[in-house]
Amino acid sequence: MNRKAKIAEPLKDQADNPNTLRRKAEKRLKEKKEGFTDGEGRAPEKIIHELEVHQIELEMQNEALRETHLALEESRNKYIDLYDFAPVGYLTLSKNAIIEEGNLTCAALLGVNRQNLINDRFRRFVAKEDLKNWDRHFISVLRSADKQTSDLKLIKKDGSRFYARVESMRIDREKKDPVIRIAISDVTDNKRAEDELIKSSIRVQETNAELTTAGDKLRENEMKLTAAGNELRRNEARLTESLAEKEILLSEVHHRVKNNLTAFISLLGLDSSHEDTEWGRALRKDLQNRARSMALIHETLYRTGKFSKVDMDIYLTTLVGQVADSYGGSAAIRPEVSARGVILDLARASTAGLIINELVTNSFKYAFPPDFDCMAVRKEPCTIRVSLACDSGRYVLTVADNGRGLPPELDVPAAKSLGLKLVNFLARHQLRAEIEVRTDKGTEFIFHLKNKDEYS
């Protein structure tokens, strides 16, 4: 039997009997384990146990490292988000003012992409008029570890400008050159508000100056007004004194006119140059009554103390009473006067008094003859009525009686008697009055007086 046959036979037996092969392998492994020791004399089982423990420790450390790495990755991502999307722009500059880092906010503020921002000079974004301010600011940051702040005008890529607040601080590094951390805030709205506030303050100051000037002028005018007021009071005192003197003088004039007319009336009573006839006595009585009407005006003015206005109620009541007294035998005739509250100027009051005197005298003389019975004809006592009232802004004077009336053939405007001629003349030319005559229930004269401003 050759060598190949010797080798092939055991292999063949092993292939034919796997169980035998397994038993032999386990036996050999056992023999090896029983004869194996490490350099320190430890058994294989103990070494394997320690290796297994050590492997578990390594796996636990690896898991802790992996978790720490994940946490660091998450923290880094958060930092990147906070850095990139912060509400202010952040830059990192080298000592030569070259931009090394920048967040997205800063890139947006300057209107450029971030990749175009890196390695560019920050000075390029500073407005020309603020370049010196930037240079001073940067030099101050390099020289001091304290934070430095400046307000600058920055220029975006599109050429538009905005006001920025630049806050910078130097950061020193071991074995490396320092870097400059910069925070940039857009303060355009604040700057505009400040400018508007300054303008408003200037306007307020200008307004205050104007108000001060106006106040000075007002005080000056007040002083002038005070002086003018003092002068007016002095003038008023002089005028009051002068008016008092004139009132005394006017009172004396009216008093003397009244006295002179009274003396004239008395002389008419004593005058015997006219023959002592009924016509002569009637003439003297008419003249006396006319003089009394004029004298009574002055007496009324003197009594009331008002020298330009006449209280017509007082004046007419007294006037009609005097005319009635002059016809003492006419007690059956009842006079009535109504003029309460009516005040006329002296000129119109005097003229109205003369007209009333004539008409009332005519009523006493001619309206009630002995054969005329008022009660039988008019169903009322014999009455003479005088009234003066304001109607629609105009004065209306009425003189009426309920006697027998005027003769049918009498034309009042063309009458020849002295009394009616005097009435027509005074009414038309002095009072500028319209005359209306009614004769249905006696005789009634109505005078519509024009206002003084209607006189031509």
DSSP state at residue 332:
T
Q: Give whole-number Cα distances, 335 to 373, 387, 400, in Å.
A: 17, 11, 10
Estimate to the nearest angstrom the gap between the alpha carbon of 362 and the chain centroid.
70
pTM score, two decimals?
A: 0.43
Range name among 317-321, 354-358, 452-456 with the lowest pLDDT average: 452-456
Tell me how far apart the alpha carbons of residues 318 and 56 are, in angstroms, rounded to a whole number.
146
The mean pLDDT value for 109-137 works out to 93
**Signed CA dihedral, 268, 274, 278, 282: sign only:** negative
Which long-range CB contacts under 8 A does 314-320 form with residues at least 24 apart? 315/339, 315/349, 315/353, 316/353, 316/356, 316/386, 316/388, 319/292, 319/293, 319/353, 319/356, 319/357, 320/356, 320/360, 320/384, 320/386
The CA-based angle 257-320-290, given to 5 degrees, is 40
pLDDT of 329 over the 60 cut: no
Tell me how far apart the alpha carbons of residues 417 and 241 are, in angstroms, rounded to a whole number.
49
Q: Name the pairing type of β-strands 383-391 and 334-338.
A: parallel
What SS3 class is residue 392? coil
For the beta carbon of residue 442, count every other beta carbon within 10 angstroms: 23
Tell me how far apart the alpha carbons of residues 200 and 192 are, in angstroms, rounded to a whole number.
12
pLDDT of 22-40, one tens digit each?
A: 677 667 666 655 555 556 6
Tokens representing 179 are: 């870097």
pLDDT of 114 over the 60 cut: yes
pLDDT at 245 (0 to 100): 59
pLDDT of 41 over the 80 cut: no
For the beta carbon of residue 60, count every other beta carbon within 10 angstroms: 10
Which long-range CB contacts under 8 A does 23-29 form with residues at least 24 apart? none
Higher-confidence residue: 265 or 171? 171
pLDDT of 153 over the 90 cut: yes
The mean pLDDT value for 147-159 works out to 93
Percentage of the chain modeled with pLDDT above 90: 38
Higher-confidence residue: 331 or 403? 403
Residue that the structure tokens 């010797």 belong to: 6
Burial class (CB in 10 A: 0-12, 13-18, 19+), 366: middle
pLDDT at 410 (0 to 100): 80
Query: Which H or E run contains 422?
Result: helix 418-425
If you average pLDDT over every residue of the chain, what do you get?
Answer: 80
Higher-confidence residue: 397 or 85? 397
Residue 314 amino acid letter: I
Tell me how far apart the alpha carbons of residues 438 and 362 are, in angstroms, rounded to a whole number.
15
Residue that the structure tokens 């004298």 belong to: 295
Estimate to the nearest angstrom the gap between the alpha carbon of 108 and the chain centroid.
48
Domain 87-186 adopts which CATH fold? Beta-Lactamase (3.30.450)
- Phi (first) and psi of residue 240, to 5 degrees: -60, -45
The domain limits of the chain are 1-30, 42-84, 87-186, 271-454
- CATH match for 271-454 among 3.90.1200.10, 3.30.565.10, 2.40.50.140, 3.40.630.180: 3.30.565.10
pLDDT of 450 over the 90 cut: no
Percentage of the chain modeled with pLDDT above 70: 73
Residue 44 amino acid letter: P
pLDDT at 151 (0 to 100): 93
**Signed CA dihedral, 183, 188, 190, 195: sign only:** positive
pLDDT at 130 (0 to 100): 94
Contacts of residue 18, defined as CB under 8 A and 6 or more positions apart, other chains included, come to none
Query: Which H or E run contains 149?
Result: strand 148-155
Range name among 21-25, 288-292, 413-417 with the lowest pLDDT average: 288-292
What SS3 class is residue 169? strand
Q: What region, left, alpha or beta, does residue 97 occupy, with left being phi > 0 and alpha being psi -120 to 50 degrees?
A: left
For the beta carbon of residue 298, count every other beta carbon within 10 angstroms: 23
pLDDT of 232-275, one tens digit each?
A: 998 888 888 767 656 654 554 455 455 545 544 554 454 545 45
Residue 85: band (very low, low, confident or very high) from pLDDT cuts 50, 70, 90: confident
